Amino acid sequence: MKNILVVCAGNSCRSQIAHGYLNYFGFKKANIYSAGLEKHGIEPRAIATMQEDGINIKEYTSNLIEEYRHIDFDFIISVCDHTSENFPNDFITKNVIIHQHFKDPAAVKGNNRQIHDAFENTRIEIKDFCRRFVRQYL
């Protein structure tokens, strides 16, 4: 079984959404983990946007990449430019690293509708990416 790590700056939103979709699309084909360079806690709006699509990430936890140093990952997926630019080189071994930047919906300012739309748009982009990833690699 493959081990996949999804990494973001704070492991609060984009990496959590990707974690949920990779679990869903890659069910029993891989062990999925998500982590951040920092730990910001899970964004409640990420949980809500995933629930709108029938995926429950409510029990997920926000973790630091250091917590997974002992795992030999087949794939590391970076979902934001900050992570791609600041990923610790000593963490990289023989794994395949894939970088796909997604806009941070938690950074959007505006009314509730604008923020909801930002989360939904990012969720849809991540869902499409995860579906393609599973087809190609799992």
> Is 130 part of the annotated catalytic residue set?
no
**Active-site entry in 47, 80, 118, 126:** 80
Confirm if 50 and 74 have CB atoms less than 8 A apart: no
Which one from 5, 6, 8, 35 is the annotated catalytic residue? Answer: 8
| 8 flagged as catalytic | yes
Residue 126 exposed, middle or buried by CB count within 10 Å (0-12, 13-18, 19+):
buried
Close Cβ partners of 63 (under 8 Å, ≥ 6 residues apart) = 11, 33, 34, 35, 36, 39
**In whole angstroms, what is the distance from residue 91 CA to residue 95 CA?**
10
Residues annotated as part of the active site: 8, 80
